[in-house]
Amino acid sequence: MKIAILMPARNSAKTIKKSLDSIVYQTFFQNSNNTYDIYLIDNMSDDELRSESTTRQYLQDYKNIIYMQCDVLGIGPPLNTGIFSIMQDKEIEYIFRLDPDDEWLPDKVQLQTDFLSKNRDVDICGTGMNFVDLDGNLLQKVLYWENDTDIKQALLNGCNPMAHPSVAYKKKIFLFCGGYNQFYEGAEDLDLWIRCSKKFKFYNIQKPLVNYSFNPKSQTDRNIQADKLHRKMISWYE
C-alpha cells in the first residue's frame, strides 16, 4: 500500500525534523510492501527551510520527500499545491496530514490504514491528540466524537469534530469538493468537513495518536473563522 503525507511548511526549520522522524519511525513502514511519499510544500519561508543547502540536506536524509514551493501565503494554497500533485499518482490510496511542528505516535498510520481497509464505507478517519506546549510537555489528552452521526451533529452545533493534523482521507473526496478553500484561513479544515458532510462518512479512532503543538493565538483566530462557518452550514440545512 502506498500513502501520501501532505505537509505544508513555513519557517519550520527548527521543528520539522521531529515531524519527519515521526513519519520514518512508523510501524506501518516496517512492512516493505508499504511505501510513502512526503509532499513537503514550502510556503515562502524566510528561515533556513528555504535555503538550498537545507533543502538538499532534507532530500538526502529523507529519501521519500517530494519538495515543492508555493508562493501564495496561507494554509490553503500550499495544501492544494500538494493535493494537485498527489492526485496524479494512481498508486496512492490515502492522504495523511501532518504539520511541521507536530509528531505522530509510532502506530498511527498502521491503526488508521487497518481501520480504513476494514471499514470501506468510511472516507475520512481522524484520531485523538495529545496537546503539548512548545517544549513538548503534555497539556491535555483530547478525544473527538467517534461515529459519523455524532461528528456531523457536532458540525451543526458549531464544533470542529475532526483534528486536522490527525486525519487520513481517501483521494476521492477532493474530486468531489475541489480542495481547500483559501478564503477561510485558519479554518480551512472545518470548511472541508462541512463540504464533505453531505456525501462522505467520518470516523475518529478513540486514541491520541498525534502530539499537537498548541498555539493559543492560532486557536483564537480559528474560533473566529469557525463561527462564520457555523452560520454558513446552518443555512445549508435550513
Statement: residue 90 has pLDDT above 90:
yes
Rounded distance between C-alpha atoms, residue 220 and residue 117, angstroms: 36
**Mean pLDDT score across all residues of the chain:** 88
Instruction: Give the pLDDT of residue 217.
Output: 52
Instruction: Give the pLDDT of residue 110.
Output: 97
Helix (H, G, I), strand (E, B) or coil at 130: strand
Helix (H, G, I), strand (E, B) or coil at 170: strand
- Return the CATH fold of 2-237: Spore Coat Polysaccharide Biosynthesis Protein SpsA; Chain A (3.90.550)
pLDDT tens figures, 179-214: 999 888 888 999 999 999 989 999 999 999 999 998
pLDDT tens figures, 121-172: 999 999 999 999 888 899 999 999 999 999 999 998 888 999 999 999 999 9
Rounded distance between C-alpha atoms, residue 88 and residue 75, angstroms: 21
Using DSSP bridges, classify how beta strands 35-42 and 2-9 pair: parallel, antiparallel or unpaired.
parallel
Query: Domains of the chain: which residue ranges?
Result: 2-237
pLDDT tens figures, 26-45: 999 999 899 999 999 998 88
SS (H, E, C) 92-123: EEEEEECCCCCEECCCHHHHHHHHHHHCCCCC
Instruction: Give the pLDDT of residue 230.
Output: 52
Rounded distance between C-alpha atoms, residue 61 and residue 191, angstroms: 35
The better pLDDT of the pair 185, 93 is held by 93
Instruction: Give the pLDDT of residue 224.
Output: 47
What global pTM score does this model have?
Answer: 0.88
Statement: residue 238 has pLDDT above 50:
no
The better pLDDT of the pair 237, 225 is held by 225
Statement: residue 226 has pLDDT above 80:
no
Instruction: Give the pLDDT of residue 45.
Output: 85
